[in-house]
Amino acid sequence: MMYLSSVSTTSSLSHLSKLYATSTKLSEGLASGKKINRAADDVANSAINERMTKQINGLRQGSQNSKDGVAFLRVFEDSLSNMENMLQRMRELSLQSANGTYTDNDRVNLDNEFQSLEEEINRLSESTRYNGKAYLGSDNTTVDIMLSDDSTDNISIDFKVVNTSTLFNGTTIDVLNQVNAQTTINAIDEAIEQVIDHKSTLGSYMERMETNIRELSNTSVNLSDARSRIADLDMAHTISEYTKNEILTSSTISMLNKANQTPSTLLKLIN
């Protein structure tokens, strides 16, 4: 009889140990909200979960890169718009100077404003900077924007140097007389077209990145939902299992307590 009681106690202790282990695992899941807290919990799905996490993080960064890229290009788009406005004013001055009703002194005054606008275009070329670099001027270079988690998925943005030298092909222009003013009109028309073309190019880059932001957002949401189904805990089911496990644990402990009390009770009856 005592032998059978010993075997029963050993079995109960083993069962209690398993219940404690289950309780620990369930508590860990409830605390984290995850059903995969370590690779041993589900080897196959753990690997899938980590790959999905890597991809989602990459997509989120790609979206942020695209947002940064749009903000970056807007700086230079605004600068080009200002240059275009100045060129439009220079064209007006050229048309005014080409008119026969003005004197040479009048044209000197017109040219003073004309030359000031040229200087301002050159200043903007160098003063318009992003992160310290003048991409329309002396720091002209190609800029690569990473679009997603793929290292080969990028947009290469080609900037043009935009100043009076490039816009007028190195030619010095003025409106000091009618002939010069008439020639200058054509040169300014070509310069305006160059600025418009460059603005359009930057605009197409921005449109691509804005489209990319929307696409990455949708993909990230769908991947996050798929990952959630793999890694996230079913709270209702887990709470139910945890409660059941706690009841079984309490019952087992109660049974062990009674078993430990039985020999003492028998001794009292014998005596």
Determine the pLDDT at residue 259: 58
pLDDT at 130 over 90: yes
Summarised one tens digit per residue, pLDDT across range 213-268 is 999 999 998 998 887 777 665 555 556 665 666 665 666 666 666 656 555 554 45
Cα–Cα nearest to 128, from 156, 158, 161, 157: 161
Torsion of CA 108, 113, 118, 120, to 10 degrees: 150
Distances (CA, A) of 157 to 135, 138, 140, 141, 160: 10, 16, 11, 9, 10
DSSP string, 244-265: HHHHHHHHHHHHHHHHHHHHHH
User: What confidence tier does 50 reach under pLDDT thresholds 50, 70, 90?
Assistant: confident
Per residue, what are the HEC states of 118-177? HHHHHHHHHHCCECCECCCCCCCCEEEEECCCCCCCEEEEECCCCCHHHHCCCCCCCCCC
Torsion of CA 172, 175, 179, 182, to 10 degrees: 90
Determine the pLDDT at residue 2: 42
Q: Can you say how many angstroms the Cα of residue 228 is from the centroid of all Cα atoms in its chain?
A: 21
Q: Among residues of the chain, what percentage have pLDDT more than 70?
A: 69
Determine the pLDDT at residue 3: 41
Determine the pLDDT at residue 69: 97
**Looking at this protein, which amino acid is placed at residue 53?**
T
Distance CA 14, CA 17 (A): 5
Q: Among residues of the chain, what percentage have pLDDT more than 90?
A: 61
pLDDT at 142 over 80: yes
Residues whose CB falls within 8 Å of the CB of residue 69, separated by 6 or more in sequence, listed in order: 145, 155, 157, 205, 206, 209
For the chain, domain boundaries: 2-33+237-270, 44-230
Distances (CA, A) of 47 to 7, 26, 56, 211: 42, 21, 14, 31
Residue 9, Cβ density class (10 Å: 0-12 exposed, 13-18 middle, ≥19 buried): middle
Q: Do residues 130 and 76 touch, judged by C-beta distance below 8 A?
A: yes
Determine the pLDDT at residue 53: 87
Q: Do residues 215 and 66 touch, judged by C-beta distance below 8 A?
A: no
More confident residue, 178 or 6: 178
CATH code, residues 44-230: 1.20.1330.10
Distance CA 186, CA 94 (A): 10
Cα–Cα nearest to 138, from 127, 149, 147: 127
Determine the pLDDT at residue 160: 95
Helices (H) and strands (E) in the chain, counts: 6, 2
Summarised one tens digit per residue, pLDDT across range 9-48 is 556 556 556 655 555 565 555 555 565 665 556 667 778 8
The chain-wide mean pLDDT, for the chain, equals: 83
The three-state secondary structure class of 103 is: coil
pLDDT at 100 over 70: yes
